Amino acid sequence: MASTTEYIVHHLTFNNVTLSGNEGGFWSLHIDTFAMSAILGFLFIAIFAIVARRAKVEAPGKFQLFIELIVDMVNTQVRDIYHGKSKLIAPLSLTIFCWVFLFNLMDLLPVDLISWVNHMTGNPEAHWRVVPSADVNTTFAMSLSVLVLIIGYSISAKGLGGWTKEVFTKPFGSSPILWPVNFIFQMIELVSKPISLALRLFGNMYAGELIFILIALLPAGAQWALGGPWAIFHILIITLQAFVFMVLTIVYLSLAVEDH
C-alpha cells in the first residue's frame, strides 16, 4: 500500500511523452489529456453531425430535441449578448460548451477506475488523467485561441489603425502623456481575459478532482457519505463552468467589436 502522498501524486501526474528527447521542458506532450480531449471532441462532433444530418423539421425524435435544446440555448445566448453578425461565434460557442462539458464530465468517473484498468492491463505504474480541463494546457489552449479571436475581431471591426488608436487613447484620454498609461491598462485588460478564462476552469476542475481523490482516501464504507453529495454538487459545477466559459467568450468577442 502506497502512502497517501504517493497516492495523490500518482493521481495528479500526467502521462508525459517527450518530443525533443530531453525529459521535461516545453517540447513534451500530455498523451492522456490530448487523447481524452480528442476522443471527447470526436464524440461531440460525431453525435452532433449525425443528428444534424438526420434532423427533421417535423416530428423530431427525443434525441434530436435534446440536441436542439442545446443549440437553442447557445443561439439564445449569442443573440442576447453579441449584436453583430458572425458566422463563427455561434458554432464556436457550441463547441466550447459541449467540449468543456464533456471534459468536466470526466471528473465524475471514479478516480480509481483508470488505475484499476491499468492494473488489469498490466501497467500498474502508468499515469492517466481523465479530466482534460484539469490540465492548464487545455484551458490555456482554448482561452488563447479566444484571445486571438478577440484581437482579430477588434481589428476587423475597427481597422488596424482604429484599434491601435483605441489602445493608446482609451480609457483615460487622447493626450500623448496618457498614452503609456492607456496602453498598460489596455494590455492588462486584454491579457487578463484569457488568464481568467483559463484559470477559472482549470481551478474548478483541478479542485474538484483533488477533492474526489481525497474522498477516495477515506475508508471504503464512508466514501459515499462525502462522495455522493460532492458528485451531485459537481454536476452543477461542471455544467456551470462550461456555460461560464462559453458566455464569457461571447461577451469578450462582443466587447471587442463594440466601441468602449
Partner 1 sequence: MDINATLIGQAITFIILVLFTMKFVWPPLNGMLEERAKRIADGLAAAEEGKKQLLNAESKVADELKKVHARANEIVANAEKLAHQTIDDAKLKAQLEADKIIANAKSQLEQDLFRMREDLRQQVSDLVIKGAEQVVRAEIDKSRHEKLLAQLKAEL
* Cell numbers that stand for 214 in this block: 481525497
- CA distance linking residue 260 with residue 258, whole number of Å: 6
Determine the interface stretch with partner 1 among 82-90, 117-125, 212-220, 236-244 (rule: CB under 8 A). Answer: 82-90
In the list 6, 27, 61, 188, the residue contacting partner 1 (rule: CB under 8 A) is 27
Per-position b or e across 84-102, b if 16+ CB within 10 A of its CB: eebeebbebbbbbbbbbbb
What's the CA angle centered on 66, arms 93 and 113, to 5 degrees? 80
Q: Is residue 80 near partner 1 by the rule CB under 8 A?
A: no
Interactions with partner 1, residue window 127-146 (CB under 8 A): 132, 135-138, 140-142, 144-145
**Which cell numbers hold the place of 172?**
483615460
Per CB under 8 A, does 207 bind partner 1? no
State the cell numbers at 139.
484551458
Shortest approach of partner 1 to residue 20 CB, angstroms?
9
Note the helical H segments in 82-120.
89-105, 113-120
Closest to partner 1 by CB, 38 or 235: 38
Q: Which residues lie near partner 1 (CB under 8 A)?
A: 16, 19, 24-30, 33-34, 37-38, 41, 44-45, 48-49, 51-53, 55-58, 67-68, 71-72, 75, 87-88, 90-92, 94-95, 99, 132, 135-138, 140-142, 144-145
